[in-house]
Amino acid sequence: MQRRNWIAAAAALVAVSPLLATSALAQAWPARPIKLVVPFPPGGLIDNMARLVAPKLAQELGQPIVIDNKPGAGGNLGAAEAARAQADGYTLLMASPPLTISPALYTKLPYKPEQIVPVGLLGRVPNVLVVNPASGIQSVADLSSRIQAKPGQLNYASNGQGTSLHLSAELYKSLSGLFITHIPYRGAAAGLTAVMADEVSMMFDNLPSALGLINGGKLKAIAVTTPQRSSALPNVPTMEEAGIKGYQVFAWFGLAAPAGLPAPVQQKLEQALERVANQAEVKAAIQKAGAEPTWVNAQGMASFMQADMAQWKKVASYAKINLD
């Protein structure tokens, strides 16, 4: 009888021990500083958002978060470093569009997309379609008519091959059936200068970097790429409203981590990030940067990333873009 009781007690202990271990792991993490890999140089939107979020998240978790800028290969080098890191919660990645664009453009990446898992989406950034104010183009319909009237004769600018801005234009082409030649420039500023100089007919740009020129009358915004209008340009229609059905593009940012993160660490991290995302000060700072505060949990972010990747694969196939 005593032996049976002992066996029953031992079995109960074995059943409970994983729960105890899981609880202990959640309570113990984090016990040291956390590294946040930012796959771009200092000073850009993604880096600025990382520096906004990191100290707030550090307060929630009780440990410093050290930003480690790892630019290169359009964000792929930083993503690869995070993908190779130990999945213990001490290496995080500032996630952004290259995570969903690069798999569509490269057959040989320095990491596999499944090596990185989302933690939470923090914000979205509209792209905006701009033209020269002196061009006489007042709408997307005007632009489409002009391109149709001069097939192959007009050009558009981007900030380089395979970027969100490049693919935004290729999506417009694929959905409208129009053709306009791509001219890649070394950065968005050079591309916008080309629009203002009437060297090219149009360009998609991230709204924050183009907003000053739009408000100053040097560029004309004819559409934004998000499903809803931007609060920064409430009178500018969306691409969908402008007649390009099915058009939806936005830059975005959030946190990701190496795959295999222990469930209790993932949960604790996601909950802490959600509290940061809902802080009024953080929302205000994101809006000031020209972005839209948008909290989406890990599960929702994973679904969004899968859909985004599928869209860019279709666009890359249509435009025959391969950057290997």
How far the first Cα of the chain sits from its last, in Å, is 70
Residue type, 121: L
Give the pLDDT of residue 4: 58
Q: Where are the alpha helices (DSSP H) in the chain?
A: 2-28, 45-61, 76-84, 98-105, 140-149, 164-176, 188-196, 207-215, 263-277, 280-288, 298-319
Residue 299, domain member (yes or no): yes
Strands 181-184 and 34-38: unpaired
- Strand 34-38 versus strand 65-69 pairing type: parallel
Q: What is the mean pLDDT of the chain?
A: 91
**In this prediction, what percent of the chain has a pLDDT beyond 90?**
77
pLDDT of 54 above 50? yes
Q: What is the pLDDT of residue 88?
A: 96
Q: Are 105 and 316 in contact (CB under 8 A)?
A: yes
Number of domains, the chain: 2
Residue 275 belongs to domain spanning:
32-124+251-319
Per-residue model confidence (pLDDT) at position 14: 52
Secondary structure (DSSP) of 280-318: HHHHHHHHHTT-EEEEEEHHHHHHHHHHHHHHHHHHHHH
Contact 247, 228 (CB under 8 A): no
CA dihedral sign, ordered 178, 181, 185, 190: negative
Which residue, of 166, 189, 224, is where some domain finishes?
A: 224
Q: Is residue 49 part of a domain?
A: yes
Q: How many CA atoms lie within 13 A of 55 on its CB side?
A: 5
Residue 208 has pLDDT above 80, yes or no: yes
Is 233 inside a domain boundary? Answer: no
Pairwise pLDDT comparison (19 vs 235), residue with the higher score: 235
Q: What is the pLDDT of residue 21?
A: 47
Sort strands 250-258 and 65-69 into parallel, antiparallel or unpaired. unpaired
Per-residue model confidence (pLDDT) at position 324: 79
Q: What is the mean pLDDT of residues 118-123?
A: 97
Percent of the chain beyond pLDDT 70?
92
Q: If you average pLDDT over residues 91-120, what whole number do you get?
A: 94
Q: End of a domain among 182, 207, 224?
A: 224
- The CATH number of residue 175's host domain is 3.40.190.10
pLDDT > 90? residue 3: no
pLDDT the model gives residue 2: 55
pLDDT band at 50 (very low <50, low <70, confident <90, very high): very high
Integer Cα distance of 154 and 147 in angstroms: 7
Check residue 193 and report its DSSP letter.
H
pLDDT digits (tens, 9 = 90+) for 284-320: 999 888 889 999 999 999 999 999 999 999 999 998 9
Q: Are residues 257 and 267 in the same domain?
A: yes
In this structure, are 106 and 130 located in the same domain?
no
pLDDT per position as a tens digit, 11-40? 555 555 444 444 555 578 999 999 999 999
CATH number at residue 278: 3.40.190.150
Other Cβ atoms within 10 Å of 216 Cβ, number: 8
Tell whether 118 and 258 lie within a shared domain: yes
Distance CA(164)–CA(249), nearest Å, equals 8
Higher pLDDT, 18 or 59: 59
Query: Can you tell me the mean pLDDT for 202-222?
Result: 95
Q: Is residue 137 part of a domain?
A: yes
- What integer pLDDT is reported at residue 20 of this predicted model? 46
Q: What is the pLDDT of residue 32?
A: 97
Does residue 99 register a pLDDT over 70? yes
**Is residue 295 one of the residues assigned to a domain?**
yes
